[in-house]
Amino acid sequence: MSDSTGQAHPLGAILAGKPPRRDTFAGWQHYRANRRAFVPAPVLTLEQWQALSPRRQVLHDLHRTATHVNLPLQETPMALKISRLLSRRILVPHQATFAPVVTCRPIAVLGGTGPSE
């Protein structure tokens, strides 16, 4: 896939057709050689984006989406704390959760006159 200038579009390999199968030797070799070949979408100003043709605008937006989808998850201190908290709440069972909950104790009434008729 190339644009009007004859240059190959960065998404050409992705949009060209079926991806190579990684469970074959040739497909795995192709994947190994090209897995880091993705070029992120360039940053355009609003004026630069508006100067593009409608087709190029759509291709640029698609390229930006692919760029943002492939960003690695950030390991920030807050994200680490939240993931630990959720792991403790979801993955680690609490003993108190599985213990029977006693809301009142049975009481034996001694004495009394019994049911009245």
**For residue 61, what pLDDT is reported?**
92
Question: Along the 117 residues of the chain, how does pLDDT read in single tens digits?
Answer: 445 555 565 555 555 667 777 888 888 888 888 878 878 889 999 999 999 999 999 999 988 888 877 666 666 778 788 888 887 777 655 544 555 555 666 666 666 666 655
Give the dihedral sign, CA 8/14/18/19.
Answer: positive
Cα–Cα distances (Å) from 116 to 17, 31, 47, 68, 113, in that order, read 88, 88, 92, 78, 8
CB 18 within 8 A of CB 44: no
Phi, psi angle pair for 13, to nearest 5°: -70, -30
Secondary structure of residue 76 in the 3-state scheme: coil
Supply the pTM of this predicted model.
0.42
CA distance 31 to 78: 34
Question: Any bridge partners for residue 8, and if so which?
Answer: 2
**For residue 33, what pLDDT is reported?**
86
